[in-house]
Amino acid sequence: MHEKKEMLDQGPFFHGTKAELNIGDLLEANYLSNYQKKKSNYIYFTATLEAAKWGAELAAASAKERIYIVEPSGDFENDPNLTDQRFPGNPTRSYRSKFPLKIVAELGAWERHSEKEINHMLSSLKKLKEEGKNVIYD
């Protein structure tokens, strides 16, 4: 008898990025990370608009920030980079999957963090990098 796994979260789910994509496109693992110069073994997403905004704002590109509404096509797990390292219990509702995410819509309008908040976050991330603590467990 096959036991059905309980879904971690019902969503809706978001993916923040600077990549220009279309409805119906698939976001897949094993592509260049938005945050480090390496391929990522997972595709990352969140069930909070706040985390998706950070994903779009901090993505390493000089293009328009976008937030897509996505549907996971398979199993997913808590993102250990946030849940184990920074936010025990996963209050950011951040996840990762080896299965593709299907883009079902683009969020048309959303309020960015202030430039002061973004610059503070970038400074904090730079400090972590300098201390060798910006490891992404992928």
Q: What is the pLDDT of residues 70-81, one digit of tens each?
A: 999 999 998 887
Mean pLDDT across the chain: 83
- Residue 60: what pLDDT? 78
Q: For residue range 28-70, what is the model confidence (pLDDT) as tens digits?
A: 987 655 555 667 789 999 999 998 999 899 887 788 999 999 9
Domains assigned to the chain? 13-130 (3.20.170.40)
The arithmetic mean of pLDDT across residues 71-99, rounded, is: 81
Beta strand 26-27 pairing with 13-17: unpaired
Percent of the chain with pLDDT over 70: 78
pLDDT at 17: 92
pTM above 0.85, yes or no: no
How many Cβ atoms are within 10 Å of 98's Cβ, its own excluded?
A: 14
Which residues lie closer than 8 Å to 23 by C-beta, 6 or more apart? 103, 104, 105, 106
Bigger pLDDT: 92 vs 5: 92
